[in-house]
Amino acid sequence: MPEPLSRPQALLGDRPAQDPAVRTLNPRCRTPVSLIIDDSTCLVNLAHYCIPQFAEVFPDRYTQDWRALPREVPDAFVREFGEWCHENGVKGKYSIVPYPACVGWVDREMPGWTKRELEQSLELVRTVIAPDWDVHPEMVSHTWVIDPRTGRSHLERSARFMENWDWTSGRSLDEMTEYLAYALGILKNAGLECEGITTPGGFGNQILPELAQSTLQSCRSVYSAEIPHYFRHVFTDGRSVAPRVEYASGLGGPDPRCVVSIIGCTGDWFGGWDGLSPGSVDRLITADLQGGRLPEVIARGEPAVLVCHWPGIYFNGERVGFRIFQEAVRRLHARYDDLVWMKLSDISRYWAARELTTIERQPGGWRLRAPFAAPDFTLELPGPARSVTVSAGADSAPLREVRRKLDLVAGTWLNEDDYVIACFDLPRGDAGVRIGTM
């Protein structure tokens, strides 16, 4: 397995003692899979409106005929996409850019559409998208930096005042927290729940510690999010793409804290950020189900987090990116029976519990102290055994034995060679796992 990205202890924060004889496995011994959708919002086709603004600063780089692109990604497509994903068990993250390319505000009005159309679009997100997807702001406009005090962009038209490029360079933690909180507040006003943020372009690349800490502070202050998370990095090489649990503190007290960095493992191999660059499903997983990026990541047991852009999924009404994604899902489900689609918040919760739960040996079993609860918590323990019992407080319950990993659900266990695998819903606070030996 590739070495994880090097992280200084100050970035990691606290780490508890964990018995080296115990391993925390993936939930139910399944590999998490997720889809990150960037550049999505209500009604607005961000590519149509972003390109001319990007071209003001980089005229040689953005020469697409943006006028030929549709101004809207219709809600009928949002529903079609969301319902297909729900039927096929797909989950992930869906951006709602709060002030997309300065066209209008999702919590107020969107010029070019009626107030009723905007509210219907938001309700579609709440009812069809949100149950299976985390909703993130992708900063405020995805183009020009907005002054939180005035709600207006700066007069200077340069990379220095564009969210995708240089604005974050040299920004303080307070400035970053204010900006992220401003973006989150707009989504809250629009009636959307949120536990994390997505960065557009190079936003935050120059100040990763401040980005992580401002995500932690802003998500907690605006939404009281227990485990904030953010999407900043994509690695398509040999580096680990396991989530990074950062700035952990207060693990033994009443107010534990951490923030989780979710890492994508693919490029946009669907339809491009502008809906003009057809991708290839074979880069994700080949027709023989053996090659491509996803089998490589899944073989390591790390979350396979795919990355795409909404204009490319719609592909100007041709749905090229959507069809590529549908085929990728079909191939994944044809090869694997041990995947679990998860939202980014669910992956973040599991990894926070995985890294931050104290696991200490005691007579007859182990004592666990968890700062965060996590469903389907799965441990590999020295065995074999004839029974496994999990306790929390005064309550104690035996787990039900199963014979295959595929049968693992919360409340079950199995003997696996010289090991025991136990799966249960981990409560916050103290718990115990007791093994009845052969």
For residue range 350-409, list pLDDT tens digits in order: 999 999 999 999 999 999 999 999 999 999 999 899 999 999 987 899 999 999 999 999
For residue range 142-188, list pLDDT tens digits in order: 999 999 999 999 999 999 999 999 999 999 999 999 999 999 999 99
Full-model pTM: 0.96
Q: Region of 151 please: left (phi>0), alpha (psi -120 to 50) or beta.
A: left
Please give the angle made by the CA atoms of 227, 294 and 127, to the nearest 5 degrees.
50
- Looking at the predicted structure, is the pLDDT value of residue 14 above 50? yes
What is the mean predicted confidence (pLDDT) over 331-352?
A: 98
Q: CA dihedral in degrees (379, 383, 385, 388; nearest 10)? A: -20
Same fold, 30-349 and 360-436: no
Q: Domain spanning 360-436: which superfamily?
A: Golgi alpha-mannosidase II (2.60.40.1180)
What is the mean predicted confidence (pLDDT) over 291-304?
A: 98
- Looking at the predicted structure, is the pLDDT value of residue 1 above 50? no
- Looking at the predicted structure, is the pLDDT value of residue 99 above 50? yes
Q: Is 131 exposed, middle or buried (0-12, 13-18, 19+ CB in 10 A)?
A: exposed
Q: Assess if CATH 3.40.50.300 describes domain 30-349.
A: no
Tell me 13's DSSP state. Answer: B
Sorted by where each begins, the domain ranges of the chain are 30-349, 360-436
